[in-house]
Amino acid sequence: MDIATLLENDGFLCECGRRHSTSLKKAVIRRGAVEELPAELKKACAGPLFAFVVCDKNTYKAAGGKVEAALSGAGIKYTTYVIPEEKPEPDERLLGSVLMHMPKGVNAVVGVGGGVINDTCKIIASRGGLPYFIVATSCSMDGFASGTSSMIRDDLKVTIDSVCPGVVIGDLDVLCAAPPRLAASGYGDMAAKYVSIAEWKMSEIINEEYCCPFICSLVDSAVALCTENRKGLKTGDEAAVRSIFEGLILSGIAADYAQSSRAASGTEHYFSHSWDMRSLAFGAPCDLHGIQCGIGTVLTVRTYEKLLRELGDEGPGSDDVTAPFDFERRKAELREVYGPAAEAMIESDVSNRRYDPGEHKLRFERIKAHWAELAGIIRSLPSSETIAGFLADAGCPTEPEEIGVPTEDCRRILPLICDLRYKYTLSTLLWDLGKTELFGF
């Protein structure tokens, strides 16, 4: 289903029993799309307009000047804040800095950029009750049309409820001129959906978690759209860039429909978040979010493949894997791997009773009883070799060493990913099965 049709039919009762809607009103994807920004602002705001435009040095060069020219030409008052850092981090400091540069009387927020700017501006618009618009400068990630923000809080990468933009502007003159690696990052973020959808379906079986077939199919179609056109991303081909941007928007709408990040992220994203946090804590290597998600997808699927080889069609054989758990040892491991971010993870482990023996036993029994279904979901994934080929076609690295991350670091991280979020992932499954030593890479 295309974006326009989804937005025309917004606010519908789904067969899953829930009503799905998104705050996104329009996605403008064409050459010269920035020209439509003033008209969309006027539709959203009654009375005199005063827009707060936020960008960084690079995104100002890419599209900030065009935005200012369009607003000036339409007689719209605005003020622009250019974030001075070369590589701003989406944390409390950046959020406070942007907020402190927002003048009194602003009645609309316009982000110009990608993930960091979009996530930060969504929170500011949400807390201020202001209409929000994003002018994308690359196809680097899938958060343009979602209602959440991925931020660093207390050294921990978290997902925060914010607001979905009312209008997304994808000016193909700007997007096609962006460095190809940014589009490759966007494809990596989309390839990650192979895992996120599979893990959502598995959690429905193991935890009786809500899962919507319509949202799953919507994400599947978005991934297919991006994969079909992946090869043109290396050269900035307009059809390929349009396809990846449309896929990213569809993914964001799906997350908005689900009211969670379940349809968009799983184990592969937590590899990425882990590398980001280790970079902050220890100066370890990290790369663009989507580049990391693509590599994390390959690592995750390899491990699922090894799990299938290990358990076969019979599934787990033990009647009880709820051995005593050394939580003090886990705390030490978390502190060693994540540094200061570990404290928030430990607090979450305690409050959510993550390692409760009774809950563990219930999950294990469901895994045993439904192993055939779970194995079928895993087998439905493209092979790790196929996914690596897709990523390479789009210009993405496929191995952690290519971005400076040692494989041994990935082996240390995977068993700890279940502590990063209270979400059922491969890491949790391996722990439930007593297979935390099982790595596919």
For residue 26, give the nearest of 48, 10, 11 by alpha carbon.
10
pLDDT for position 8: 84
3-state secondary structure of 301: helix
Residue 247 lies in a domain: no
For residue 416, give the nearest of 338, 340, 351 by alpha carbon.
338
**Tens of pLDDT, residues 122-167:** 999 999 999 999 999 999 998 899 889 999 998 888 889 999 999 9
Q: Is pLDDT of 19 > 90?
A: yes
Question: What's the domain range around 117?
Answer: 3-178+236-240
Strands 167-171 and 26-30: parallel
Asked if 370 and 267 sit in the same domain, the reply is: yes
Asked if 270 and 172 sit in the same domain, the reply is: no
Asked if 286 and 420 sit in the same domain, the reply is: yes
3-state secondary structure of 149: strand
Asked if 283 and 379 sit in the same domain, the reply is: yes
Residue 227 lies in a domain: no
Using the structure block, give the residue that is written with the tokens 């920035």.
34
For residue 149, give the nearest of 137, 171, 134, 169 by alpha carbon.
134
For residue 387, give the nearest of 295, 307, 303 by alpha carbon.
295
Residue 225 lies in a domain: no
**Tens of pLDDT, residues 350-399:** 888 888 888 899 999 999 999 999 999 999 999 999 999 999 999 999 99
Q: What angle is formed at CA 287 by the lines to CA 248 and CA 134, rounded to 5 degrees?
A: 35
Asked if 134 and 280 sit in the same domain, the reply is: no
Asked if 273 and 396 sit in the same domain, the reply is: yes
pLDDT for position 290: 96
Asked if 267 and 414 sit in the same domain, the reply is: yes
Domain of residue 58, CATH code: 3.40.50.1970
Residue 115 lies in a domain: yes
Q: Which phi and psi (to 5°) does residue 30 adopt?
A: -170, 170
Residue 253 lies in a domain: no
Asked if 276 and 164 sit in the same domain, the reply is: no
Residue 367 lies in a domain: yes
Asked if 160 and 301 sit in the same domain, the reply is: no
CA within 13 Å, CB half, 37 = 37
Q: Is pLDDT of 88 > 80?
A: yes
Residue 296 lies in a domain: yes
Number of domains in the chain: 2
Residue 7 lies in a domain: yes
Q: How far out from the chain centre does Cα 149 lie?
A: 9
**pTM greater than 0.85 (yes/no):** yes
Token duo for residue 115: 């993930």
Using pLDDT thresholds of 50, 70 and 90, give the confidence band for residue 285.
Answer: very high
